[in-house]
Structure 1
């Protein structure tokens, strides 16, 4: 998996202890117990102190017990570019060359700030798991939240953790597991003294999304309407959380084939997002995707392609190169061109989508045929 990311950036979520001495580092790598499914890795890091501004590191040789290790410690959040990954038969190790870099540091800070705006009451501990899911790392997000459950010393908001686990399951279409975790989160929040009605709109909305996937449209509308009422009361009509619920209500009416009403909800959601977000955001791309689908259903293919192109362009800027929401945009654009009888162009988009989906999830019954009209939930 790491080899496919050669040339990309990698960031640490913990401190990194290194050594100036290759012999010391090799000694630690060779001493590692290798399981059948694992291999030892030797990291070779280049760091130019004159060109690096955001990476914090220090030689702590004089502060540690074993001075011979010549230890250098890198701070949490240090970013490196993966220069090369090669197997060394002589040492039976993989050598990964990294170069410390400032690239992406400012973008990462801005991205976190934007997401904090739409998750005002969310701690950084919870936000990290949310961002993993936003990046399409659904299994990693679930495992991270399960780790928080198993480590009570971290003192996370347990109800929010269950909501995060449910979100990871929802993205993987494991609907029963998703609903169970959302329901547990909702019950915990509403059982608090006083009840956490504002927070509880998150799992309540998410239960509505599960019901949508299960085609229980009226029940889904009930949950989402309750969430919208509470968010209007607690956040106000022009808040990003309200925009998410408006988008999801649009999804419900889309599924009920009430396209004109769905469009009203999508456009209200988009107007809030364009006012509140200072830069492109994945939620905005979702809304653009959904508006495009409405225009397609209303046989306005020109508007459909315009909004789909905006969504795809935004997603390519924001998301990793292999992400399910990119698959979604490519599928939907291909479907529009297919209906326009521009079959070569349609096939190009649909083939890109299928190949990307197979890389993400592996070849399944779902990826063997073309999936179309994929709506986006916030």
Structure 2
């Protein structure tokens, strides 16, 4: 069964979406389209029978997260998670120009602009957006210190992608320093930065240190995230990266396959994370001499 949810007032849209879950049905989002003439967002959904305990756990996690988040910005985050970057950009542009956002919302919007540009590979605009977000968060001082740390973590990812490991490491370590001032040691943002430091260690062939940081991050995720959360897939991808770099191809293959299974359960098939995992699988198959499998991925 397919359906369409129309969203006009930001404060009510999530009630409409989760009404489906509250009556015992589970719907998967297919697409989001904005109609400027009607000033409505159309969310196309279809019914799914995957209403098992893992799905229910993930829904409850998202409900809890939603109560802790800015509802208006949450919808834009959802578009980014779906890989709908152009639509997310338009959504946040609309908020900036017509919704009179406060300073905290503006900082978060520029943080999300940075995420969009990073996924699209536009590093110059990514750095500008993250820098603006970081400055706004730091101007708010202690209230947004953790958000400033999260922005530094994302900025470090950009430098790492540009192979500037010195700047990347500086950003990750500064992020960890800010986290210590404002959030618990086992917060999921701490785990995310640990994973990025793990990747640095892996790049430098420091595999023992990388595995140690991986285990610390895994412990945090095991205690904080539902089993179907996409970040768990990223954790397996990063473990696969360690094994790939170390030449342990069979172990890397198992990690990438496990990650892909998690990603396919929670992300659109055209999401960049899925594409990267498939790319890594092709690399492993090539190293193992399975060139036909690599070509068919």
The offset of 1:161, in angstroms, is 0.8
Distance 1:207 1:119, change over 3 A: farther
- Counterpart of 2:40? none
The offset of 1:109, in angstroms, is 8.0
- Counterpart of 1:12? 6
Q: 1:142 aligns with which of 78, 81, 89?
A: 89
The offset of 1:11, in angstroms, is 4.1
Count of residue pairs the alignment pairs up: 270
Q: Distance in 1 between matches of 2:99 and 2:44?
A: 36
User: What pairs up with 1:117-156 in 2 under 5 angstroms?
Assistant: 121-153=68-100, 155=102
Please give the secondary structure, in 2, of the residue aligned with 1:12. Answer: strand
Distance 1:207 1:194, change over 3 A: same
Length-normalised TM-score, structure 1: 0.63
Q: Distance in 2 between matches of 1:130 and 1:278?
A: 19
Length-normalised TM-score, structure 2: 0.79
Please give the secondary structure, in 2, of the residue aligned with 1:278. Answer: coil
Please give the secondary structure, in 1, of the residue aligned with 2:269. Answer: coil
User: What pairs up with 1:229-308 in 2 under 5 angstroms?
Assistant: 229-308=177-256
Relative to its length, the structure with more helix (as a share) is: 2
The offset of 1:12, in angstroms, is 3.5
Q: Distance in 1 between matches of 2:28 and 2:184?
A: 41
- Counterpart of 1:54? 20
Distance 1:9 1:240, change over 3 A: farther
- Work out whether residues 233 and 259 of structure 2, in 8 Å CA contact, stay in contact via their aligned partners in 1: yes
Q: Distance in 1 between matches of 2:105 and 2:29?
A: 34
Q: Is 1:160 aligned to 2:154, yes or no?
A: no
Please give the secondary structure, in 2, of the residue aligned with 1:157. Answer: helix
Q: Distance in 1 between matches of 2:73 and 2:216?
A: 28
The offset of 1:278, in angstroms, is 2.4
Q: 1:318 aligns with which of 252, 257, 266?
A: 266
Q: Distance in 1 between matches of 2:123 and 2:152?
A: 14
User: What pairs up with 1:161-240 in 2 under 5 angstroms?
Assistant: 161-192=109-140, 194=142, 196-240=144-188
Distance 1:314 1:237, change over 3 A: same
Distance 1:173 1:248, change over 3 A: same
Q: Provide Cα deviations, 1:86-139, integer angstroms capped at 9, x if missing partner.
A: xxxxxxxxxxxx998654897998656534666885312122212211111122
The offset of 1:331, in angstroms, is 1.3
Please give the secondary structure, in 2, of the residue aligned with 1:326. Answer: helix
Distance 1:79 1:319, change over 3 A: closer
| Unaligned residue ranges in structure 2 (runs of 5+) | 10-18, 31-42
- Work out whether residues 118 and 240 of structure 1, in 8 Å CA contact, stay in contact via their aligned partners in 2: no
Distance 1:8 1:199, change over 3 A: same
- Work out whether residues 80 and 100 of structure 1, in 8 Å CA contact, stay in contact via their aligned partners in 2: yes
Distance 1:157 1:215, change over 3 A: same
Distance 1:144 1:184, change over 3 A: same
